[in-house]
Every structure is written in C-alpha cells, then in structure tokens.
Amino acid sequence: MKLSKRIFNTVLTIGLLSLSSGASASFIGDIIAGYDYSQENSYFTVQNTSGFDLTNIVFTASDGASFSGTWHFGNVLAGGSSTQYFADTGNAFQVDFDDSYSGGGDIKYLLTASWDGHTLYSSFSANDNYTGGFLGFLGNDIYGAEYDVSLSGVAAVLAVPEAEQYALLLLGLPMIAVAAKRKSA
C-alpha cells in the first residue's frame, strides 16, 4: 500500500514539474485562412517557419452531414509559404463558397502533413480557430449570411511535441501501470 502511494506521488510530482517547467510543443508554422473579396473566393496559406519541409499536405473538411471534401495542397519548403485558393465545385472547397452554402461555421477543416518523420494534424473551423472568435474566411458572417469582405487570420498553428513530453509520458505510464497492478492485487 505504501509503495503504491509513493508511486502515485512520484507520478503526480513529475506531472506537476512538467507543467511548471513549461514543457510544450515546438511551433513550426501556421495556417492562415482568408477571404479575398476581389476574387470572391476563400484561400488557405500554409506558412512553414521550420528548417524542414512540410510534405503531403492534405486538407479534409466535413460539416458532419453530407457536405465534405478533400484538397491535396502539396508541399511547403522549409522557411516558405504557399497560398492556394478554393478551386473545387460542389464541396467544402467550393469556389465562391458563400454563394453556394449558407453557414460554414460548422464545417471542420483538418490539415494532415508530414514533417521530419512526424505526422502533423491541425484542425479549425470558422467558429473554432486560433483567433478565439469567429473568422469569416468562407465569405459568410457568423449567422451564415453572405458577407463579402476581404479578411484573414491565423486559423491554426502547426506544432510538434517536444522530446521531454515523450520522455515524461514514457516515464509516467509504466508507473501508473505498476500502481494499478498493485492496487488490484
């Protein structure tokens, strides 16, 4: 019983130390979502601020019902950026999106990409994004009405977990398993 309590306290201490040490993820870039009124079209810019290429970038999107789509964005070289406008028809990457779909705040966009041997994921929507507020990058206002105003904002950031996060996880999981095993015995 005392050993389990000691293990629990050790795991708790390691967890608190990791929080206080500021263990975090390395930010390697961001996704800017915008609407260009002169073209009446939405776009994404992927910025790569790291020293490694972002490859096989794919955006997928869905409103949870029948409206979805996939967009093969390509690659972004280390230190570079790429801006691409919506070019599809009849899906979540529709040209002049706001003229064909009212709403848009409920469409979730997910980026997947490869970076230095890691698979990255980052998701956002017009309602849930890095700005903390509504970002009308689809040409609609917060109520779904057409709102043709040029704007842009950081929709999401790209991050890779630091090695110390993996080390803490690898250290903590076996301790929790031992504590659970002793508790059940």
CA atoms within 13 A on the CB side of 113: 30
Per-residue pLDDT, averaged over 20-25, amounts to 51
Give percent above pLDDT 90 in the chain.
36
Ramachandran class of 66: left when φ > 0, alpha when ψ lies in -120 to 50, beta otherwise: alpha
Question: Contact 134/100 with Cβ under 8 angstroms?
Answer: no
pLDDT digits (tens, 9 = 90+) for 41-86: 999 999 999 999 999 999 999 988 777 899 999 999 999 999 999 9
Sorted by sequence, the CB contacts under 8 Å of residue 6 that are 6+ apart come out as none
Q: What one-letter code names the amino acid at 180?
A: A
CA atoms within 13 A on the CB side of 185: 9
pLDDT at 122: 93
Spatial separation of the C-alpha atoms in residues 169 and 165, rounded to whole Å = 6
CA 40 to chain CA centroid, Å, is 25
Enclosing H/E stretch for 124: strand 118-124
